[in-house]
Amino acid sequence: MKILMVCLGNICRSPLAEGILKYKAKQAELPWKIESAGTNGYHIGEPPHHLSQKVARLNGIDICDQRARRFTADDFKNYDKIYAMSADVIDEMKRIARNKFDAGKVDLLMNELNPGKNMDVPDPWYGPEPGYHQVYKMIDEACDAVVRKYGRTSNSDLGPLSTGHGNPNTQSTIRNSQ
C-alpha cells in the first residue's frame, strides 16, 4: 500500500504524519510505502520544522532526513491513498491536479479517527511548541486508526482502497466544494 500525507509546506504536519505512520507500519510489519508532500513550493528541499523534529524525537521517531517536496498531479497515479491534513489542502490539491484529481483516493486524515467530522489537523507553524505536541497527538491517534483499518489487507488486495470510493462523507464535501 502506498500512502501520501499532504499539508501546505511539507515541513510541519505531513512530515510528522509520514514519520508516525512509517513507524507504526514497521511495528505492524506492514510493507507500506509512506511519503509526504506540500501543496506550495516554499520549502522544497528543506528538512522538517525544528519543532516537528523535536516532538517526533521525543516520541522515538526520527524525521530529520525527510526533505520537503511539492505535491503533483502524478501523485494520484503513484499512491493508493492520499491524506490531507486540512480542507484547504484538498482545495489546493484540486487546483494542482485539475482533471487528474481522484476524490476516491483523498480523505482528511482525521476522518480515519472521526469519520465524517471533516476535522482539520491545525497548522502549528506560527505557534509555540505546545501546538506541535497537540498536532503530534492528533496525527498519532489517526495513524493508529489507519493501521487498524488497512493493516488487515495485503499488498495484492487493497480492500476498501480498490473500490475507489473513499469516505462517502468527505467525498460529498469534496464534490460540493468544486
Residue 74 appears among annotated catalytic residues: no
Cα(16)–Cα(11) distance, rounded to whole angstroms?
8
Active site residue 7: yes
Which are the contacts of 8, defined by CB distance < 8 A and separation ≥ 6? 38, 39, 40, 85, 86, 88, 89, 92, 123
Selected catalytic residue, list 7, 75, 107, 143: 7
> Which residue is catalytic, options 107, 123, 140, 143?
123
Q: Of 13, 107, 140, 143, which one is the catalytic site residue? A: 13
Cell 501523485 belongs to residue: 75
91 included as an active-site residue: no
Catalytic positions are 7, 13, 123
